[in-house]
Amino acid sequence: MKRFRVRPGGPLRGIARVPGDKSIGHRALLFGALAEGRSLVRGLSGGLDNASTATAMQKMGARYEIANGVARIDGVGLDGLRMPDGAIDCGNSGTTMRLLAGVLAAQKFGTRLIGDASLTRRPMRRVVEPLRARGAHIAGVRGAKEGEHYPPLSVAPLIEGERLSALEVRTEVASAQVKSALLLSGLWADGPTAIAEPTLSRDHTERMLVALGAPLEAFGAMCVLDPSRWETRRFPAFEWTVPGDISSAAFLVAAAAMVPGSEIEIEGVGVNPTRTGFLDALRGMRAHTETVPRGDAAGNEPVATLHVLHGSLAPTRIGGEMIARMIDEVPVFAALATAAHGRTEVRDAEELRVKESDRIATMAEVLRAFGGDAVELQDGLTIHGGRGLRAAHVESRGDHRIAMSAVVLGLVAEGETLVDDVDCVDTSFPGFAALLRSLGADVREELVGSDA
């Protein structure tokens, strides 16, 4: 097991690049398997989550050669997937499991989706029930909450003559994973798939489907995929570059905004408007940030350079549709709020309770461990910032975003901070500590326990 040892030091300075966006990476790897011919995907994160998707699709017949963030994929086409030899292990990746549930629901073979202990605790009803409504034979197992479906997910085959039906659904919560699973299942359906969300979640799947020629139309927070309008019914091979992950960049942005004297640039970051809630929240805090457009990347994803300066921060309130556009960044936003003099409030973020950890409860504990004033709400947090922080010894709870948020706090806390159980960081941000060190931070990795 690894841990981080963090000490406050001088300013962060320099130019950085973060790993490729893992949400976009998942989808690019999956569409490469469903395309015909050899596709090329550059800029992958190298994280374990994306590897779970590639391994899963490889078990169903696609071929992958992946090295140094570049994947060469020999796809099998929409109708070329085959039954895997045994269960498909999704590791820690909820995205892998939910997207594959959509793909597998339409197949003529059955399979089982399993995951690690953390993933097994994550709810799947929001995917399972709409897939069942269109004729899929899919089920989870009982768990902590009555009526909920939890992994493993078992998917039985469609029998001869069965096809998934048309689907019109209005989701209760904006979720790109649920929306993507339903759109993917719709590629094999006998009628349109129409999805309306309360607010628009990240739209990477829609952008890629359009780029590959699928008959999809989007109207604000609603999208419709109608396979009857798809004459070719095929995905051509493609060459895409995955932009840098804004969710990973957020940790560097927060650190530079908090550590006195810091000034950094982060190049090649994806700035899809459905993902930039964190940058909007920074404007609300009057942070010294600038976004410089740099063209497009995979599936018409906009890319930019982020320029960040340290400066004073104002308290703010976030909630509503902004939360859907920054759900992964809320923990590090809470860390950043400790540097704003006054009361910052996070609301409408109850979705965080069913991530890798209960991120509301866990982040409140972490902030208090550093001497912060944090109050846990049912759907968020209030943080009274501006007081000095002290070093802490905290646990990640196996959650990569909690671990990295604690490191950011350690960079401005008095004394030496220890963050335990940080192997999970490799799921999304391999090289996190080394990149911070390259900018001047005092962050070290070390082995503890039986691995030392």
User: Would you name the residues annotated as active-site residues?
Assistant: 328
Residues with Cβ within 8 Å of residue 266, at least 6 apart in sequence: 15, 16, 17, 18, 244, 249, 252, 253, 305, 306, 308
Specify burial of residue 368 (Cβ count, 10 A radius: 0-12, 13-18, 19+). middle
- The tokens for 207 are 């952008």
> What is the Cβ-side half-sphere exposure of residue 448, based on CA atoms within 13 angstroms?
13
- Answer for the pair 240, 40: CB distance below 8 angstroms, yes or no: yes
Helices (H), 60-200: 94-104, 117-120, 125-133, 176-186
Give the other-Cβ count within 10 Å of 291's Cβ.
14
- Answer for the pair 122, 94: CB distance below 8 angstroms, yes or no: yes
Strands (E), 221-282: 222-225, 239-241, 263-270
C-alpha span between 45 and 354 (Å, rounded): 24
Taking Cα atoms as reference points, which of 399, 324, 388, 393 lies closest to residue 361? 399
Q: What single-letter DSSP state applies at residue 328?
A: G
C-alpha distances in angstroms, 231 versus 68, 166, 185, 208?
37, 18, 18, 18
Q: Which region holds residue 47: left if phi is over 0, alpha if psi is between -120 and 50, else beta?
A: beta
Tell me the pairing of strands 442-447 and 2-7. antiparallel
Helices (H), 304-358: 321-324, 330-337
- The tokens for 391 are 């070093």
C-alpha span between 352 and 358 (Å, rounded): 6
- The tokens for 219 are 């109207």
